[in-house]
Structure 1
Amino acid sequence: MESTLPAQKIPVGISACLTGQQVRYNGGHKRSRYCLGVLDDCFSFETFCPEVAIGLGIPRDPIRLVGLEGEHPEARGTKTPELDVTDDLLRVGTDFARKHEHLRGFILMKGSPSCGMERVKVYHPNGIPHHADQGVFVRALREANPVLPLEEEARMNDAVLRENFIARVFAYDDWKTSVEQDASYHDILQFHSRQKYLLMAHHYEGYRELGRYLADAHDKPLDEVKQHYIERFMHHMAHKATRKTHTNVLLHMLGYLKKEIDSDIKQEMIDAIEQYRLEQVHLVVPLTLLKHYVKRHGSDYIRSQTYLNPHPYELGLRNYI
């Protein structure tokens, strides 16, 4: 089978420690075999360590989040609480986002007070762990670029979260390369058309919402439509696709073939989809059958759906969900 790896690697940011750079507070690293051994075939990684970027040394006294629930926590020294690097981390996060608008995603270090995406310990000013929040650099990155796909490297041990993130990166790359630079209403509609069933798998209501929005989009300024659409699209894509939503999409797409395939083939497809719904097989089983018959009998519209190939098959992401 011909390779489906991208001809040009997709630019993705990554916490520097995950690439083996010894930039952690203790002078160590957290090298990710999956990122460097698998995703490196698709992604061109651009490394960044916000704590080093603000001038903290290696090794260094660690920092942690401190604050009360309901407030943005501060990043303070663990051993020297008077050290407050919150504003510095916010500054480099905003500056990084502004200078790296070309990125299609960012892979983060779990639990980091700067790079943690969620569930980072926040300590009460009295020193007792109190609740959880996101890292300060991540807060700035999200505020500056809310559509950028983010994921923690450790969370990608979960097959569903792994597939979700990589699907978002490839969808965002499609937007950046085919729509963003020289957008037209037609380009946005074409993007929505080919991403339709992938979006449906992630969030059915989101799929309906954006369809309704685009129906009246020509009455609105193009820049407004472009910004609103991609913000809502990436928001909806962040929802996890489930067996129920995948099953719904598979049956919808099968409906486009019902006049072209005989009853035995149709039943074979329905049986495979049902086996998937009942957790007897992985998604790759009904999807392989569907792709075979879509290639032979499908219309240009259904063959163009990115749901069929949202990311390179070499990654094997749908073999485990």
Structure 2
Amino acid sequence: MDSKLTIGISACVLGQKVRFNAGHKRSAFCTDQLGEFADFVPVCPEVAIGLPTPRPTIRQILNDDIITVSQPDGSGDVTQALKDFGQAHAKTTFDMAGFIFCAKSPTCGMERVKVYYHHGKGSASTGVGVFAEQVMQANPCLPVEENDRLNDPVIKENFITRIFVYHRWLKTRKSGLTKHKLITFHRAHKYLVMSHHIESYRALGQLLARADQPLEQQADQYILGLMTALKIKATRKSHTNTLQHLQGYFKKQLTAEKKQALSEEINAYREGYSPLLVPLTLINHHLKEFPNEYLSDQVYLTPHPKELKLRYGY
């Protein structure tokens, strides 16, 4: 990768002491690992709208089907200020490869934010952070995730895959989009999208085969379809299907013994006895021995830097 990703991030996740209690929620993965490949753009909505640090806690409160953000007693309503800031900041995210939000925050939580009833009795984890909501609505293609969820290896790998794909897309568009570049981009991502959602794999191919749409409109539909498909977590079954397709490219080059060895590794992965990295490593080994330009270009084989070690654990 010849340039770093630009990623928006809740400032507290980056280690800045901006929480209500002057604490932080630093993510070691973000700062120590992902930070090697990304430039972060930190933001704290509360501080941005003028709240002090430390400060009284704020929460989402439901009253007559309207959710407001204020102190627990209803004072200090900052709902509109947060919405206005969120809408303004969202306009700066279109050149970002992703955004990492602070989980459960009334401003930055992507989902399952606590919404308290105005009478003070109980709550429901049904809210979305006011700031996060504005960012996500403004840019539906933008890969987003929460800091806590990045502790899950499957969710982490899914998110990191998406931000690197989106980074490549932003670079492609910035270079001046053409139909050839769009087709080339899709060609390199075909097996990746197959591993996530086979129906989208077919639909995206059909979309690009059409000649009756302006290029910009087609490109917008394509990237929305691609990023939506990649949100779907790949499974052992879908990975196995993809691996078997890749295996087919070597049917004329490999000896019977090597074919059997690759089949056994793919099956071992399918049954949960080994991680995805094992059959992929063998496929990459065969690709070096028997070069194939089409396969070499496939993002699926190396969707993110090996240094992140994201395919070791599942």
Paired AA for residue 68 in structure 2: E
Does residue 190 of the first structure (1) align with residue 164 of the second (2)? no
What RMSD in Å do the two structures reach over aligned CA positions? Answer: 1.5
1:262 Cα shift?
1.6
Deviations 1:105-142 (A, max 9, x none): 01111110111111111112222203412211111001
Unaligned runs of 5+ in 1: 1-5
In structure 2, the residue matched to 1:140 is 134
Contact 1:18 1:109 in 2 (8 A): yes
Paired AA for residue 228 in structure 1: Q
In structure 1, the residue matched to 2:39 is 44
Structure 2: how far apart are the matches of 1:205 and 1:123?
40
SS of the residue aligned with 2:155?
A: helix
Structure 2: how far apart are the matches of 1:101 and 1:19?
21
Contact 1:179 1:191 in 2 (8 A): no
In structure 1, the residue matched to 2:302 is 309
Q: How does 1:143-182 map to 2 (within 5 A)?
A: 143-182=137-176
Q: Which of 15, 20, 30 lines up with 1:20 in the alignment?
A: 15
Structure 1: how far apart are the matches of 2:152 and 2:125?
24
1:99 Cα shift?
2.0
Q: Which of 30, 34, 48 lines up with 1:35 in the alignment?
A: 30
Structure 2: how far apart are the matches of 1:130 and 1:18?
24
Structure 1: how far apart are the matches of 2:300 and 2:95?
24
Higher mean C-alpha displacement, 95-104 vs 249-258: 95-104
Structure 2: how far apart are the matches of 1:181 and 1:55?
39
Q: 1:131 to 1:159 in 2, by over 3 A?
A: closer
Q: 1:276 to 1:48 in 2, by over 3 A?
A: same
Structure 2: how far apart are the matches of 1:72 and 1:310?
42
Structure 1: how far apart are the matches of 2:90 and 2:142?
9
Contact 1:256 1:298 in 2 (8 A): no
Contact 1:189 1:214 in 2 (8 A): yes
In structure 1, the residue matched to 2:259 is 266
Q: How does 1:194-205 map to 2 (within 5 A)?
A: 194-205=188-199
Contact 1:10 1:173 in 2 (8 A): yes
Deviations 1:138-162 (A, max 9, x none): 1100111111111111111110000
Paired AA for residue 267 in structure 2: E
In structure 2, the residue matched to 1:207 is 201
1:222 Cα shift?
1.2
Compute the TM-score of the two structures, normalised by the length of structure 1.
0.94
Q: 1:58 to 1:188 in 2, by over 3 A?
A: same
Compute the TM-score of the two structures, normalised by the length of structure 2.
0.96
Q: How does 1:21-100 map to 2 (within 5 A)?
A: 21-67=16-62, 73-79=67-73, 81-100=74-93
Deviations 1:288-316 (A, max 9, x none): 00111122224211111000000001111
Structure 2: how far apart are the matches of 1:295 and 1:74?
58
Paired AA for residue 213 in structure 1: L
Contact 1:121 1:132 in 2 (8 A): yes
Q: 1:60 to 1:188 in 2, by over 3 A?
A: same
1:53 Cα shift?
0.8
Structure 2: how far apart are the matches of 1:67 and 1:189?
48
In structure 2, the residue matched to 1:3 is none
Q: Which of structure 1's runs of 4+ aligned residues deviate more than 4 A?
A: none
SS of the residue aligned with 2:311?
A: helix
Unaligned runs of 5+ in 2: none
Structure 2: how far apart are the matches of 1:102 and 1:56?
28
